[in-house]
């Protein structure tokens, strides 16, 4: 499976890559399959069955909204985030859905969108099954999909989710192989990835795509810093980025740790936008979408001579690390807990920052290892099934850890260390397998149930 930087960094909408972006992609793919099979004009009803984590936390993660948008022909990267709620309200109000934007079918939510909270499909905790019926009630077509984390979707029967055709000039499946390529060719990790990307598009298109990704991240931060109020969902969580931004820009301080307030601000801004259903970049997931933008914004704001070229190198390097987690472990909190989301984002961001700090490939690998080593065992226990508590603050912690990891590896290390990145990735995978299900995006354990009602 060859992965691209644009498989790791995808534009979508909040609040969740696995529970919002993935189900929307799956629904869109199902409608596309109906169209390609010439079945679409004959469909009189579609029933969606959600299983496992998608059922348990789907309402808080806007899975219901995502399914309706996907069935209507919308995609995460192009849907108008500001108009999405109104479109869903029309479907619910009229009890009619325009399937693929073409065929109007009845939609009765209680009968046609079913949450099976006590059932999990065998392949992955995030399962969704779509069934199309004729107006007579005859079953016409059925497909099952799994949202396996980071917006990746696999249809039942497919071996992998995502991936690009090859061969690429520098194939690798482990950090050890990636480092060996660097030693053999003299290439930095960012250049290795850039040459692989050239398999699929000219270099200037990759650069433009990376600039677009950063542009969406930056716009998301700007919206988050400019917007106050309370987040939707019923928990009454107040946005903090707006007031924090005002405080930091209005007050001159000699506090040497104030830089971390800025890092926290950047992460808060992104994840508050994500929680509000705004446009974000899956990096590598929505629940962890604030970590990488926060650390890259830290580089742009606080490093003299910061350049757009280095910003691209940051993203390319971070993507290389994300590819290793995707191939060898998981990006799904429903599978391995939040170590697969904020933990992976921290590891990726640490690697990216180490690269633009001038780190060697060995120091970059060390930074990525540190970033994950101290997130091992991190659970996913969202209160109320919402990507708000503890998810928003957790991104600030991941971002600050990433900065610390990069500094330890580059400024105070030479790349040698006892635990390799490959070892820590395998440890993360095994830890996730051992983790009890109530701590894996089900809201059945942890903070989700052990909180004081005020």
Quick one: pLDDT at residue 108? Answer: 97
Q: Is pLDDT at 454 greater than 70 in this prediction?
A: no
Quick one: pLDDT at residue 450? Answer: 83
pLDDT in tens, 75-87: 999 999 999 999 9
Partners of residue 126 on adjacent β-strands: 52
Quick one: pLDDT at residue 163? Answer: 75
pLDDT in tens, 149-179: 999 999 998 876 667 888 999 999 999 999 9
pLDDT in tens, 97-141: 999 999 999 999 999 999 999 999 999 999 999 999 999 999 999
Mean pLDDT of 331-343: 97
List of residues 6+ apart from 254 with CB closer than 8 A: none
- Radius of gyration of the chain measured on its C-alpha atoms: 22
What does DSSP say about strands 279-282 and 152-155: parallel, antiparallel, or unpaired? unpaired
Quick one: pLDDT at residue 39? Answer: 97
pLDDT in tens, 268-295: 999 999 999 999 999 999 999 999 999 9
pLDDT in tens, 365-384: 999 999 999 999 999 999 99
What percentage of the chain reaches a pLDDT higher than 90? 95
- The domain ranges of the chain are 15-155, 175-199+201-439
Quick one: pLDDT at residue 251? Answer: 81
What percentage of the chain reaches a pLDDT higher than 70? 98
Average pLDDT, the chain: 96
Neighbours of 212 (CB within 10 A): 14
Whether the upstream peptide bond of residue 294 has omega within 30° of 0, thus cis, is no
List of residues 6+ apart from 46 with CB closer than 8 A: 71, 97, 99, 105, 107, 112, 130, 131, 132, 133
Q: By the 8 A CB rule, do 65 and 20 touch?
A: yes
What pTM does this model have? 0.95
pLDDT in tens, 208-260: 999 999 999 999 999 999 999 999 999 999 999 999 999 999 987 778 899 99
Mean pLDDT of 328-335: 97
Looking at domain 175-199+201-439, which of 1.20.120, 3.40.50, 1.10.10, 1.10.4100 is its CATH number? 1.10.4100
Q: CATH assignment of 15-155? A: 3.30.1330.90
Quick one: pLDDT at residue 144? Answer: 98
Q: Is pLDDT at 55 greater than 50 in this prediction?
A: yes
Q: How far apart are CA 304 and CA 406, in angstroms?
A: 17
Quick one: pLDDT at residue 420? Answer: 98
Mean pLDDT of 406-419: 96
Widest distance between CA atoms in the chain: 73
| Listed range (10-24, 151-165, 234-248, 320-334) with the worst mean pLDDT | 151-165
């Amino acid at each position: 499976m060859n992965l691209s930087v644009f498989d790791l960094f995808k534009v979508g909408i909040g609040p969740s890559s696995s529970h919002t972006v993935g189900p929307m992609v799956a629904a869109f793919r199902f409608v596309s399959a109906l169209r390609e099979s010439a079945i679409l004009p004959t469909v009189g009803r579609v029933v969606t069955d959600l299983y496992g984590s998608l059922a348990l936390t789907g309402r808080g993660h806007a899975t219901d909204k995502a399914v309706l948008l996907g069935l209507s022909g919308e995609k995460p990267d192009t849907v108008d985030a500001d108009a999405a709620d109104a479109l869903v309200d029309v479907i619910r109000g009229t009890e009619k859905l325009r399937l693929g934007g073409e065929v109007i079918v009845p939609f009765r939510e209680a009968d046609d969108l079913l949450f099976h909270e006590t059932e999990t499909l065998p392949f992955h905790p995030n399962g969704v099954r779509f069934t199309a019926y004729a107006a007579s009630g005859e079953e016409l077509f059925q497909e099952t999909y799994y949202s396996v984390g980071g917006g990746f979707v696999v249809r039942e029967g497919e071996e992998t989710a995502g991936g690009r055709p090859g061969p690429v000039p520098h194939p690798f499946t482990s950090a050890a192989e990636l480092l060996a390529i660097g030693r053999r060719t003299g290439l930095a990790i960012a250049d290795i990835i850039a040459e692989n990307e050239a398999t699929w598009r000219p270099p200037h298109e990759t650069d433009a795509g990376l600039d677009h990704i950063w542009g969406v991240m930056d716009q998301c931060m700007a919206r988050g810093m400019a917007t106050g109020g309370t987040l939707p969902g019923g928990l009454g969580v107040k946005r903090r980025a707006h007031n924090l931004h005002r405080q930091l820009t209005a007050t001159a301080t000699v506090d040497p740790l104030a830089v971390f307030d800025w890092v926290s601000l950047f992460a808060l801004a992104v994840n508050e936008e994500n929680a509000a259903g705004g446009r974000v970049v899956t990096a590598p997931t929505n629940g962890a979408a604030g970590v990488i933008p926060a650390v890259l914004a830290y580089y742009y704001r606080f490093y003299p001579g910061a350049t757009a070229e280095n910003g691209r190198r940051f993203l390319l390097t971070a993507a290389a690390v994300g590819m290793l987690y995707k191939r060898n472990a998981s990006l799904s909190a429903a599978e391995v807990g939040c170590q697969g989301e904020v933990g992976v984002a921290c590891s990726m961001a640490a690697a990216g920052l180490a690269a633009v700090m001038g780190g060697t490939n060995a120091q970059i690998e060390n930074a990525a290892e540190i970033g994950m080593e101290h997130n091992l065992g991190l659970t996913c226990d969202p209160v109320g099934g919402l990507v708000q508590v503890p998810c928003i603050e957790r991104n600030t912690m991941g971002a600050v850890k990433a900065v610390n990891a990069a500094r330890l590896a580059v400024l105070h290390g030479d790349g040698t260390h006892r635990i390799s990145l490959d070892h820590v990735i395998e440890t993360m995978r095994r830890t996730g397998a051992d983790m009890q299900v109530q701590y894996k995006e089900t809201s059945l354990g942890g903070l989700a149930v052990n909180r004081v009602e005020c």
